[in-house]
């Protein structure tokens, strides 16, 4: 089986590490302690075996086999079932990877089912074993310690997101064309991170509501309140990041729209200027075409043209050219083509 750890703890100290689950359950009988079992990526048969050994509800087993659960807290009789979404950030790609850990807490046992590398439960176990007075408080002490580790791992991710947002803001004011793409990519990571942190607040609130009913030790109450404070701060930061990225997208869209409007205005001015030039060229072409037309007609030299033998034909032709050109000039001038 994919058992990472199997230990029996009495009064906060590890008594023994049984070789298998059957031995753990048998050796625990008669002992005022608990067994702590860690499983890493178990298959369905392994989970079913553990469930039969400790009387875990089939619905909880089904949720454990089917991964990609949201953070939640459910109670099946005396067994508390908790789903957490640990995370760590890949700084080079500014990408957040999410894991999943399922925790079963009974009266005298705690079973953790891990589906990813994080969190490092060995660190949690070592820390608890260095504080036997805390581990002696039972399975819920393990649950709170894992919850504390998951929330602590959220803090550097929130810091990395803040640094990335600062860089995007600087790039936006520098006119970086990749700002929209970077902002959308980061916005997706923030949304995914928000889906891991917000439901976890409901988990801590549900745990806090059950303090009196399940007679939770005062030390565990203090630790959970501390975890909840840290989690609330991270959740508030993530909410702020999401709003800030939405503002960046809106500002970038406004700036882009303004730039497009400015480009359109400049293009319109150029078009108007070109149109004015076309008008001027067309007007002068029409004016110069008039004498060309008169000269062409009188240059055909037909025998039956009466003006050819007319003494005043030459000055008349030039006068006609001048008059037509003047008339066209006045017309185009009034139309502001010239």
Query: Which fold does the domain 3-257 belong to in CATH?
Result: Beta Polymerase; domain 2 (3.30.460)
3-state secondary structure of 89: strand
State yes or no: pLDDT of 136 exceeds 80.
yes
At 269-317, the pLDDT tens digits run 888 778 878 888 888 887 777 778 777 776 666 666 666 667 777 777 7
Strands of the 33-40 sheet, one edge to the other = 13-16, 3-10, 33-40, 109-114, 101-105, 79-84, 72-76
pTM: 0.75
Percentage of the chain lying above the pLDDT 90 cut: 36
Stretch(es) of the chain classified as CATH 1.20.58.340: 265-334
* Architecture in CATH of 265-334: Up-down Bundle (1.20)
Stretch(es) of the chain classified as CATH 3.30.460.20: 3-257
What does DSSP assign to residue 291?
A: H
Token code pair at residue 311: 């003494």
At 160-199, the pLDDT tens digits run 999 999 988 888 777 777 888 888 889 999 999 999 999 9
Cβ-based neighbours of 198, under 8 Å, separated by 6 or more: 235, 238
At 7-53, the pLDDT tens digits run 889 888 888 877 766 677 667 666 678 899 999 988 888 888 888 88
């Amino acid at each position: 089986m994919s058992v990472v750890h199997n230990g029996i703890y009495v009064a906060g100290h590890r008594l023994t590490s049984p070789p298998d689950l059957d031995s753990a359950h048998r050796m625990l009988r008669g002992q005022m302690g608990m067994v702590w079992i860690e499983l890493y990526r178990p298959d369905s048969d392994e989970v079913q075996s553990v469930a039969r050994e400790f009387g875990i509800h089939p619905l909880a087993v089904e949720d454990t086999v089917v991964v990609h659960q949201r953070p939640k807290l459910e109670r099946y009789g005396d067994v508390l079932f908790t789903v957490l979404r640990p995370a760590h950030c890949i700084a080079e790609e500014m990408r957040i990877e999410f894991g999943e850990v399922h925790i079963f807490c009974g009266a005298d046992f705690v079973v953790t089912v891990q589906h990813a590398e994080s969190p490092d439960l060995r660190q949690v176990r070592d820390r608890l074993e260095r504080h036997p007075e805390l581990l002696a408080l039972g399975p819920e002490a393990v649950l709170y310690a894992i919850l504390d580790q998951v929330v602590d791992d959220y803090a550097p991710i929130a810091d990395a997101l803040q640094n990335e947002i600062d860089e995007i803001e600087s790039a936006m004011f520098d006119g970086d064309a990749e700002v929209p793409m970077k902002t959308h990519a980061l916005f997706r990571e923030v949304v995914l991170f928000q889906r891991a942190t917000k439901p976890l607040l409901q988990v801590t609130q549900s745990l806090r509501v059950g303090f009196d009913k399940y007679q939770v030790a005062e030390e565990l109450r203090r630790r959970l309140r501390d975890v909840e404070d840290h989690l609330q701060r991270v959740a508030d930061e993530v909410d702020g990041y999401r709003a800030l990225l939405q503002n960046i997208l809106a500002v970038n869209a406004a700036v882009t729209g303004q730039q497009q409007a400015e480009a359109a205005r400049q293009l319109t001015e150029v078009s108007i200027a070109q149109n004015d030039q076309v008008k001027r060229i067309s007007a002068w072409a029409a004016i110069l075409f008039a004498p060309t037309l008169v000269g062409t007609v009188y240059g055909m030299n037909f025998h039956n043209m009466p003006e050819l033998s007319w003494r005043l034909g030459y000055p008349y032709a030039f006068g006609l050219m001048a008059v037509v050109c003047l008339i066209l000039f006045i017309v185009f001038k009034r139309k502001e083509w010239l």
